[in-house]
Amino acid sequence: MSMDGVAVVGAGTMGNGIAHVAALTGLDVRLVDVSEDQLAQALKAIEKNMDRQVRKERMTEAERDEALARIRTTTSTVEGVKDVDLAVEAVPEKAELKYAIFKELDESAPDHAVLASNTSSISITEIAGRTERPERVVGMHFMNPVPVMKLVEVIRGLATSDETTRAVVELSERMGKTPVEVNDFPGFVSNRVLMPMINEAIFCLMEGVGEPEAIDTVMKLGMNHPMGPLALADLIGLDTCLNILEVLHRELGDDRYRPCPLLRKYVAAGWLGRKSGRGFYTYDA
């Protein structure tokens, strides 16, 4: 299956990173968003991030210019996906929104095109069930920041075909990533393992077992984690963490995934981590 043209639907944090790496791989990229402003900001972010790679001599100026020229933007999903081989959806983590977009992608993308979601926790099988091509629907879970992080968790829905899986595994490798194939269960592997650890660190804080710095230092120096779980939760966003824990709790029906009350309290207060300036730590604007 040839993969030359890709649409990235949603030009936020993850969408601009995916477009960046796809353009550097030599793919023709259509970046789609409902907001013109967001598209302009995404292009600016991609240019800034590529400039940094030029300064670090990881690419030449000519390579940057060629990659940027391969990205076209549009606010029309129909226009954006009409002749692509792959569409990667990276809109906000809301199930109903994703279902609606996949219906639109299914109607507008060519029959042969693979439809992928970058979802962190929504069932690929359920998304696929909204389309007429469930065998060509798959999860491509990139990590943040996309140009830096090596992993792509490739998630097979119940109906995802071997051919589709093979195509996105090969494409991920072309993009310089390490794809890992997993099956569709709540939280996949990444968040099924990460979120309970973060949640337990928050319980430690709530119960007074240790201060945030103590908890993070134990995990950094004792377990060789590059970042402590509380600092990582602040980076991911505490609302996002709560959201994913709620999915795990609801879908797996096991109380070991119950979100820590302190996490709920922080989110209710608007202490969402780095993006709001305050979470388990405080951040300068």
Q: Could you list the active site residues?
A: 120, 141, 153, 191
Under the binding rule (CB under 6 A), the answer on residue 282 touching ligand NAD is no
CB-nearer residue toward ligand NAD: 14 or 219: 14
Applying CB under 6 A, among 21, 24, 84, 101 the residue interacting with ligand NAD is: 101
Under the binding rule (CB under 6 A), the answer on residue 160 touching ligand NAD is no
Under the binding rule (CB under 6 A), the answer on residue 201 touching ligand NAD is no
DSSP state of 8: E
Under the binding rule (CB under 6 A), the answer on residue 126 touching ligand NAD is no
Compose the 236-255 pattern: x for residues touching ligand NAD by CB under 6 A, - for all others.
x-------------------
Q: Which position's Cβ is nearest ligand NAD?
A: 12
Quote the least distance from Cβ 251 to ligand NAD, whole Å: 15
Beta strand pairing call for 151-156 and 137-142: antiparallel
**Cis preceding-peptide flag for 147 (omega within 30 of 0):** no
CB-nearer residue toward ligand NAD: 93 or 246: 93
Applying CB under 6 A, among 63, 79, 83, 93 the residue interacting with ligand NAD is: 93
Q: In angstroms, rounded to a whole number, what is the distance separating the alpha carbons of residues 249 and 244?
A: 9
CB-nearer residue toward ligand NAD: 93 or 181: 93
Reduced to 3 states (helix: H, G, I; strand: E, B; else coil), residue 200 is: helix
CB-nearer residue toward ligand NAD: 43 or 54: 43
Applying CB under 6 A, among 92, 222, 226, 253 the residue interacting with ligand NAD is: 92
Reduced to 3 states (helix: H, G, I; strand: E, B; else coil), residue 208 is: coil
Position 221: which residue type?
L
CB-nearer residue toward ligand NAD: 115 or 204: 115
HSE of 90, CA atoms in CB hemisphere, 13 A: 27
DSSP state of 221: I
Applying CB under 6 A, among 119, 125, 172, 199 the residue interacting with ligand NAD is: 119
- Smallest CA-to-CA distance from 152 within 136, 173, 125 is with 173
Interaction residues for ligand NAD, span 7-46 (CB under 6 A): 9-15, 32-35, 38
CB-nearer residue toward ligand NAD: 66 or 126: 126
List the beta strands (DSSP E) in 40-118: 71-74, 86-89, 114-117
Position 186: which residue type?
P
CB atoms within 10 A of CB 203: 14
Question: Looking at the chain, how many residues does it have?
Answer: 285
Q: In angstroms, rounded to a whole number, what is the distance separating the alpha carbons of residues 165 and 181?
A: 8
Q: Which of these segments, 60-68, 117-125, 171-179, 214-222, binds ligand NAD (CB under 6 A)? A: 117-125
Q: Are 42 and 11 in contact (CB under 8 A)?
A: yes
| Residues within the interface to ligand NAD (CB under 6 A) | 9-15, 32-35, 38, 90-93, 101, 118-120, 144, 236
